[in-house]
Amino acid sequence: LDDLDLKVKEIKKVHAALLSTPHNDQKQRNQLDEHMNNIRLLSKTIRKELKDIESEILLDKANNREKEEKGERADLRIKKLQHSSLMKRFKDSMLEYNDCQLQYREQCKKRIVRTLQIVNKDMTDEEIDKIIESGKSQIFVGEYNEMVQKAKLDLQELDDRQKELDKLEKSIMELRDLFVELAMLVEQQGEMVDNIETVIQQSADYVEKAVKHTEEARKHQIKARKKKMLIVGCVVVALMVIVLIIVLSVVV
């Protein structure tokens, strides 16, 4: 998960670099493709490991029932809580990645729109949207190539941005499928996490009460010791008085 967070940060840096340059840098585009592929593979690996942990939990629960043990073992509850925590962190990381992909897609669209408007100022918003959605910017480049050359505009960027959009759309669709699966798993674990939190809270309350009882017992013990010492002192004084009376009687 640490590697996944690092990859998401790296892909954000590449996005910023690509958007800050007037023309796409092939090296940066290759880096972007590499980062996206790494995240795709890494997310599959993490998802598989989380499923393996879930299978272990289900097996432990089955064994627990077969042994007719009352309540869940502490180690099983801890494993469930850890699995739920990892699931949430994985989901948050992938949501962050999805957000950065969506933001980058919107920025790419804006740059395509600006380029198309430069090529043909009379083009309507609907025509621009159709070109972007259909992925036909390459055809558009061919149709307006002569005009662009005269205006000294580089429409290679337009084609490059469209290719990036196509890749982003594919990546976003994969993320949607992943989120559907994660949502189902998180929903299944919601009740389990609530139960675990209840057990933890009950344990904390029990510990707090035990501490209070211990403190009260300690205070009672101190009071008992003081009373005991007072009684012993009184007995000693009484004995001394008796001895003194006897001695005086003998002398008289």
Structural domains in the chain, CATH included, are 2-213 (1.20.58.70)
Three-state helix/strand/coil letters over 179-217: HHHHHHHHHHHHHHHHHHHHHHHHHHHHHHHHHHHHHHH
Torsion of CA 165, 170, 174, 179, to 10 degrees: 30
- Alpha carbons 185 and 130: distance in angstroms, whole number: 38
Whether 144 shows a pLDDT value over 50: the answer reads: no
Residue 17: pLDDT band (50, 70, 90) is confident
Cβ within 8 Å of residue 166, ≥6 positions away: 135
Q: Is the whole model's pTM more than 0.75, yes or no? A: no
The tokens of 114 are what?
Answer: 């600006």
pLDDT for res 130: 65
Cβ contact 141:154 at 8 Å: no
Q: Classify the phi-psi angles of 152: left when phi > 0, otherwise alpha if psi is within -120 to 50, otherwise beta.
A: left
- Alpha carbons 193 and 83: distance in angstroms, whole number: 10
HSE-CB of 163 using CA atoms within 13 angstroms? 13
3-class DSSP state for residue 107? helix
Phi, psi dihedrals of residue 21, rounded to the nearest 5°: -105, 145
Residue 87: pLDDT band (50, 70, 90) is confident
pLDDT for res 140: 44
pLDDT for res 116: 66
Whether 187 shows a pLDDT value over 60: the answer reads: no
Task: Report, as an integer, the average pLDDT of 172-191.
Answer: 61
- Alpha carbons 32 and 10: distance in angstroms, whole number: 9
